[in-house]
Amino acid sequence: MKKRVVIIGGGFAGLNTARVLGNKEDIEITLIDRKNYHLFQPLLYQVAMAALGEGDIAAPLRNMLANYRNVTVFKGIVEHIDMENKTVVTDFHNIPYDYLVLACGVQHHYFGHNEWEEFAPGLKTLAQAKEIRRRVMEAYERAERTTDFVERKKLLTFVIVGGGPTGVELAGSIGEMSRYTLSKFYRNIDPKLTRIFIVEAAPRILGSFSPDLASKATRSLEKLGVQVWTNSMVSEVDADGVQIGNERIEAATVLWAAGVTAIEIGKTMEGVETDRIGRIVVSEDLSIPGHPEIFVGGDLAHFVSENGNPLPGLAPVALQQGRAIGKNILLDLKTKARKVFRYRDKGQMATIGKNKAIVEFGGLKFDGIFAWFTWLLVHIYFLTSFRHRVFVLLQWGWSYFTFSYGARLIVNREWRFYPDADSCALRKEKAKKE
Amino acid sequence: MKKRVVIIGGGFAGLNTARVLGNKEDIEITLIDRKNYHLFQPLLYQVAMAALGEGDIAAPLRNMLANYRNVTVFKGIVEHIDMENKTVVTDFHNIPYDYLVLACGVQHHYFGHNEWEEFAPGLKTLAQAKEIRRRVMEAYERAERTTDFVERKKLLTFVIVGGGPTGVELAGSIGEMSRYTLSKFYRNIDPKLTRIFIVEAAPRILGSFSPDLASKATRSLEKLGVQVWTNSMVSEVDADGVQIGNERIEAATVLWAAGVTAIEIGKTMEGVETDRIGRIVVSEDLSIPGHPEIFVGGDLAHFVSENGNPLPGLAPVALQQGRAIGKNILLDLKTKARKVFRYRDKGQMATIGKNKAIVEFGGLKFDGIFAWFTWLLVHIYFLTSFRHRVFVLLQWGWSYFTFSYGARLIVNREWRFYPDADSCALRKEKAKKE
């Protein structure tokens, strides 16, 4: 009888498990995702900044998996995992499994202040990216038509909470857009006067990078008009700005690039250990201790690496874990011993603006135009399909030489609050420990 | 003192008036639109069918008009026209005018059944196009995961109400997609069994074309699996399908491509004559009789042509009227006589699918691959910018040779009911005759 593998989540981890197991004999795969597409999250900020369209960084999961005849894709919502009967309970029908792969990812975390999300959207989904785009462009529209100078200043102020790569990329893009692209489009405002702040609680931004690269990135941001506030913990976010202890910035647009929390699936599973942010603690083979039939990969997994720390939530980690899970399932079927997962470090990088990036790889550290080209080539290389690569390269080329961006369209609000923010599955109201 | 020209609506008419008056001495132009972009409506159905992205057929009005230093663009909502004080009352501030150009276009009309819109969205705005895309793709997703055969049949049934060019283009696209593109992506359904209907009240579809071309288009549609029902008036639309007299089709997706009605601005203006569908009746110079300072152009204008009928709502009509209005304002300023508007007939065309189209131009009529190339070249030529031309051509080329479509992504519902359906301005609750 065929082994039934159910994968929840079509991100880097889930997709790569499916690819390893695709067209293998005696295996039937069901992949469930709340969305109908795989998203290339590393470029999501470019959709938020209108440099790319949504179709450039996302592709329907069905298309990507069409040639694996043993893969069935369902767009649906997982309600809970019945571990006793080895069944996934969904909003359409129940799906029994022999192996279960959990790869649901993470969502934004507001440190106990979920009410801030309305005023400070995060950047994990396409809908959020387009909401950020809408807010940024709408702020300029409103600034152009107001006659109240105080209101105008507030509209031309952008606060990014969190100084990790996402925060830096968002701030850099707004800096570049306001200084170089928008200036000739308005009659009543000068977009070059846009105020941009990164507010970071730690003593410096880009904490995962080396201090000298982070310092160079800070200088690059400053050249684009971004002010970096470190040791600054946001104490309040409202419709008019942010409070940082005794200080206050009035801003019509606040973006959230700070903490993340795992999709709550782990907490709903009896006897499964989760860490402080809800990630599921896994064994060396990526399965849940005591449940060799359940694997966890990607941002949802808490995997302790050789240095004793959990691996970070990066695309290469998720990709490698997804493949390793697939290979371990194949080893099981051949009744061979599973392999221990080892992360091969792919380094990390962040881009600040045109010709400006920082790259860390093994012992290598570099910045400037060469880092920027490295960033560009790596992202193009890892893009989902040949079609994506061609069209993204063309659009970047176009923007590079014309210094214009793509379509800064404001289409209707299409974004909803918290319940939709998670990237794959699990209906919230049912996600409670029984 | 400079003459103040206020243009309401940034479609083909309004945009072209602004272009004629742009950078002309002694003129100050204010263009107000509810959206921040100009939309190339003839290709809107391709966004609905995921063949193109929203950025491919729309561009921010500010970018398009950036080089005209005397043009100010406001994204805003017009509340009413104070004709006595020559002032446009908006939701931000009031704008006085010496000349007013009304170019607000039309929206869908449900023959007194606005409650049908929820079940049968029209196709006039980008948000509507993306809602149609979402509904079509969601129907396939739900069909794939249901185990109920009656439900599945309903989900794989698409009814298009109205057999004009938009209805034909939508039906042809769904036919082509279901027969050629989708088949390998699903495991539980055969997309080739998709049922597609065009329901048209008149004795034939494409009533504005000659009978033999319409007949050829009908044959082309049939080859793509579309059934054409003529002499069929829809009597009821609900969440499960449509009623046509005694007949009923169960369909999860119904699309509306039937009647249109003008944006209601005309009815709110004292002493202004409107026709049956609310269009404003204009004089030969495109101004409102008795109000030489107010012009109307595009779909909103009821202009009686030489054959005694009002001009149809086509892009070339709007474009030519927009230019003519601009020129007449310039003639006024030179104290010369205005010119009578004459429409230079650009013919009409519609595409049914790959290599299939019909074209009528003067005495010429043709169909097939040559018509299809004509359609393609004309649309590329009239696209808004060089960037749009390049990217649309590339995507079409890609789809043509790979027979794949672009990104069939289902992003969150972003579409709202009636109040947002109009293409430019006028807040509904205030649009009442005082």
Query: What is the band of A109 on the pLDDT scale with cuts at 50, 70, 90?
Result: confident
Query: What is the band of A307 on the pLDDT scale with cuts at 50, 70, 90?
Result: confident
- The residue with tokens 């009578």 is B340
Q: Give tens-digit pLDDT for B280-335.
A: 999 999 999 999 999 999 999 999 988 889 999 999 999 999 999 999 999 999 99
The pLDDT of residue B211:
95
Q: Which amino acid type is present at position B71? A: V
DSSP SS3 for B80: strand
Note whether A344 and A320 are within 8 A (CB): yes
The pLDDT of residue A405:
58
Q: Considering only A120-134, A398-412, B190-204, which range has the smallest mean pLDDT?
A: A398-412
Q: Give tens-digit pLDDT for A334-379.
A: 999 999 999 999 889 999 988 899 999 888 999 999 999 898 888 8
The pLDDT of residue A425:
36
Note whether A221 and A198 are within 8 A (CB): yes
Share of chain A above pLDDT 70, in %: 92
> Which residue from A55, A72, A145 is facing B409, i.e. has the nearest CB?
A55
Give, rounded to a whole angstrom, the gap between the first and last alpha carbons of chain B: 32
Per the model's pLDDT, the better-predicted residue between B260 and B153 turns out to be: B153
The residue count for chain B: 434
With left for phi above 0 and alpha for psi between -120 and 50, is residue B418 left, alpha or beta? alpha
The pLDDT of residue B264:
83
Of A1, A73, A77, A5, give the one whose Cα is nearest residue A322.
Answer: A5
Q: Write out chain B residues lying below 8 Å of A6, CB-based.
A: none
User: Average pLDDT for residues B90-104, to the nearest whole number?
Assistant: 95
pLDDT at B175 over 70: yes
Give, rounded to a whole angstrom, the gap between the first and last alpha carbons of chain A: 32
Note whether B177 and B404 are within 8 A (CB): no
Task: Mark yes or no for CB contact A60/B35 under 8 Å.
Answer: no
User: Average pLDDT for residues B169-193, to the nearest whole number?
Assistant: 93
Task: Mark yes or no for CB contact A58/B410 under 8 Å.
Answer: no
Using CA coordinates, name the residue in chain A closest to B392.
A391
A360: which strand partners? Answer: A348, A365
The pLDDT of residue B217:
96
Query: What is the band of A433 on the pLDDT scale with cuts at 50, 70, 90?
Result: very low
Query: What is the band of B183 on the pLDDT scale with cuts at 50, 70, 90?
Result: confident
User: Average pLDDT for residues A6-17, to the nearest whole number?
Assistant: 96
Q: Give tens-digit pLDDT for A216-247.
A: 999 999 999 999 999 999 999 999 999 999 99
Q: Considering only A45-54, A271-280, A413-422, which range has the smallest mean pLDDT?
A: A413-422
pLDDT at B405 over 70: no
d(CA A54, CA B411): 9
- Identify the CATH number of the domain defined by range B114-258: 3.50.50.100
Task: Mark yes or no for CB contact B407/A66 under 8 Å.
Answer: no
d(CA B240, CA B225): 21
Best B64, B145, B422 member to test A by mutation, with max A CBs in 10 Å, is: B145
What's the CA angle centered on B353, arms B351 and B358, to 5 degrees? 30
B82: which strand partners? Answer: B87
Using CA coordinates, name the residue in chain B closest to A35.
B410
Please report, to the nearest 10 degrees, the dihedral formed by the alpha carbons of residues A414, A49, A108, A11 taken in order. 90
CA distances from B375 to A133, B45, B311, B382 (A): 34, 14, 21, 11
User: Average pLDDT for residues A159-176, to the nearest whole number?
Assistant: 95
- DSSP element (H, E) containing A5: strand A3-8
The pLDDT of residue A131:
87
Domain range annotation of chain B? 3-34+76-108+260-345, 114-258
Task: Mark yes or no for CB contact A75/B391 under 8 Å.
Answer: no
Query: What is the band of A2 on the pLDDT scale with cuts at 50, 70, 90?
Result: very high
> Which residue from A145, A409, A420 is facing B58, i.e. has the nearest CB?
A409
Q: Per residue, what are the HEC states of A337-365?
A: CCCCCCCCCCCEEEEEECCEEEEEECCEE
CA distances from B400 to B180, B191, B355 (A): 12, 20, 9
Q: How far, in whole angstroms, is CA B333 from its chain's centroid? A: 33
What's the CA angle centered on A323, arms A313 and A263, to 5 degrees? 40
CATH code matching the domain that covers A118-258, chosen among 3.50.50.60, 1.20.59.10, 1.10.1060.10, 3.40.50.720: 3.50.50.60
d(CA A241, CA B174): 47
CA distances from B158 to B120, B198, B213, B320 (A): 11, 9, 24, 36
d(CA B340, CA B53): 39
Interface predicted TM-score (ipTM) of this complex, two decimals? 0.86
| Number of cross-chain residue pairs from A and B with Cβ atoms under 8 Å apart | 144
d(CA A31, CA B16): 50
Tokens standing for A335? Answer: 């009744």
The pLDDT of residue B131:
87
> Which residue from B72, B410, B412 is facing A420, i.e. has the nearest CB?
B412
What is chain B's mean pLDDT, rounded?
89
- DSSP element (H, E) containing A248: strand A247-250
> Which of these is catalytic: B131, B169, B176, B264?
B169
Tokens standing for B92? Answer: 């931000």
Using CA coordinates, name the residue in chain B closest to A139.
B75
Task: Mark yes or no for CB contact B145/A74 under 8 Å.
Answer: yes
Query: What is the band of A389 on the pLDDT scale with cuts at 50, 70, 90?
Result: confident
Tokens standing for B68? Answer: 């005209």
Phi and psi angles of residue B382, each rounded to the nearest 5 degrees, phi first: -85, -5
Using CA coordinates, name the residue in chain B closest to A59.
B407
B169 included as an active-site residue: yes
pLDDT at B240 over 60: yes
CATH code matching the domain that covers A3-108+260-345, chosen among 3.40.50.460, 2.60.40.10, 2.30.110.10, 3.50.50.60: 3.50.50.60
pLDDT at B429 over 50: no
Task: Mark yes or no for CB contact B412/A411 under 8 Å.
Answer: no
Of B409, B421, B412, give the one whose Cα is nearest residue B116.
Answer: B421
> Which residue from A147, A185, A395 is facing B62, i.e. has the nearest CB?
A185
pLDDT at A414 over 60: no
Of A34, A393, A61, give the one whose Cα is nearest residue B408.
Answer: A61
Task: Mark yes or no for CB contact A127/B412 under 8 Å.
Answer: yes
Best B28, B137, B141 member to test A by mutation, with max A CBs in 10 Å, is: B141
The residue count for chain A: 434
Q: Give tens-digit pLDDT for B364-381.
A: 999 999 999 898 888 888
Q: What are the strands of the beta sheet with A291-296, ordered from one edge?
A: A71-75, A27-33, A3-8, A99-102, A291-296, A287-288
Using CA coordinates, name the residue in chain A closest to B91.
A145
The pLDDT of residue A412:
53
d(CA A408, CA A395): 14
Query: What is the band of B107 on the pLDDT scale with cuts at 50, 70, 90?
Result: confident
pLDDT at A8 over 50: yes
B37: which strand partners? Answer: B60
Task: Mark yes or no for CB contact B409/A37 under 8 Å.
Answer: yes
Q: Write out chain B residues lying below 8 Å of A73, CB-based.
A: 144
pLDDT at B420 over 60: no
The pLDDT of residue A259:
83
d(CA B218, CA A329): 53
Alpha helices in A187-289 (DSSP H): 211-223
The pLDDT of residue B416:
31
Domains A3-108+260-345 and A118-258 share a fold: yes
The pLDDT of residue B406:
55
Residue A146 Cα, gap to closest chain B Cα (Å): 7
Check: CATH 2.60.40.10 for B3-34+76-108+260-345?
no
Query: What is the band of A385 on the pLDDT scale with cuts at 50, 70, 90?
Result: confident
What is chain A's mean pLDDT, rounded?
89
- Mean pLDDT comparison of A369-383, A399-413, B393-407, highest-scoring range: A369-383
